[in-house]
Amino acid sequence: MMRRMILVATMACLGLGCESPKVSGGSPRMTKAEPSDFPPPPGTRLLTRVSAKGDQIYTVKAGANGSKPEWSAATPDAKLFDNKGQEVGSHGKGPHWTMADGGTVVGQLPPARKAVMDPSAVPWLQIDAKPGSAAGSLKDVTVIQRINTTGGLPPAADLTDANIGKDFRVPYTAEYLFYAPAK
């Protein structure tokens, strides 16, 4: 019976097309489950989950000792959405997350964990919250994960001497999961 259900679902996807977790217009859609291949740290519970749609901003910088130009670290600039597609906050430099209700948290770099799940997208990350940076609805957050990413990688063709100092905005989507200590 189970194999028949899987076969029917697969055929429906092939015949009708299935939506991916992300969409090109409007807000990205969230998946329902936490990914088993990138589990949260032990002793934590999921506090909230949002989807993000925006840009990763890269700057072309001169290479060290006259070597070829290189990219700066990415700076995010994204809007955050709840599971109904309503805008609920923003994500920016720092990295920081700010919710419309006043909740905030700043992530501590470098990431505690990183995984390339799709070579055409920015990696999945696990970032610890900077101690003392969380407030409001995010006050209990200790860990932030970025999963289910699409896009956001720097464009190779623009890494030239002529572009040193220029910013490039690259569209991306992701989901951010905010974890607090288990009760």
Return d(Cα 59, Cα 153) in angstroms, integer.
12
Residue closest to 154 by CA, chosen among 136, 172, 179: 172
Per-residue pLDDT at 54:
98
Is residue 11, in this structure, part of any structural domain at all?
no
Report which of 28, 17, 13 is spatially closest to residue 150, judged by C-alpha positions.
Answer: 28
pLDDT tens column, 34-49: 667 889 999 999 999 9
Who contacts 95 (Cβ-Cβ below 8 Å, separation ≥6)? Answer: 76, 106, 107, 109, 127
User: Is there a domain that residue 77 lies in?
Assistant: yes
- Containing domain of residue 39, as a range? 23-181
- 79 belongs to a structural domain: yes
Average confidence (pLDDT) over 146-174: 93
Q: Which residues contact 144 (CB under 8 A, 6 or more apart)?
A: 97, 105, 107, 126, 127, 128, 129, 176, 177, 178, 179
What phi, psi does 94 have (nearest 5°)?
Answer: 140, -60
Q: Closest by alpha carbon to 118, among 177, 35, 46?
A: 35
Residue 37, token pair as written in the block: 């291949």
48-64 burial, b at 16+ Cβ within 10 Å, e below that, comes to bbbbbbbbbbbbbeeee
Q: In this structure, is residue 165 part of a structural domain?
A: yes
Given a cut of 90, whether residue 136 has pLDDT beyond it is yes
Per the DSSP assignment, residues forming a β-bridge with 108 are 128
3-class secondary structure, 177: strand
d(CA 116, CA 81): 24
**Cβ neighbours, 10 Å, residue 100:** 13
On the question of pLDDT at 32 being above 80, the answer is no
Residue-wise pLDDT for 62-118, tens only, equals 988 878 999 999 999 999 999 999 999 999 999 999 999 999 999 999 999 999 999
In a domain, 18, yes or no: no
Which residue type is seen at 169? Answer: R
Calpha distance 144→89 (Å, rounded): 15
Give the total number of structural domains in the chain.
1
> Where does the pLDDT of residue 156 fall: very low under 50, low under 70, confident under 90, or very high at 90 and above?
confident
Task: Flag whether 58 is in a domain.
Answer: yes
Residue 14 belongs to some domain of the structure: no
pLDDT band at 1 (very low <50, low <70, confident <90, very high): very low
Report if residue 3 sits inside a domain.
no
**How confident is the prediction for the chain on average, in pLDDT?**
84
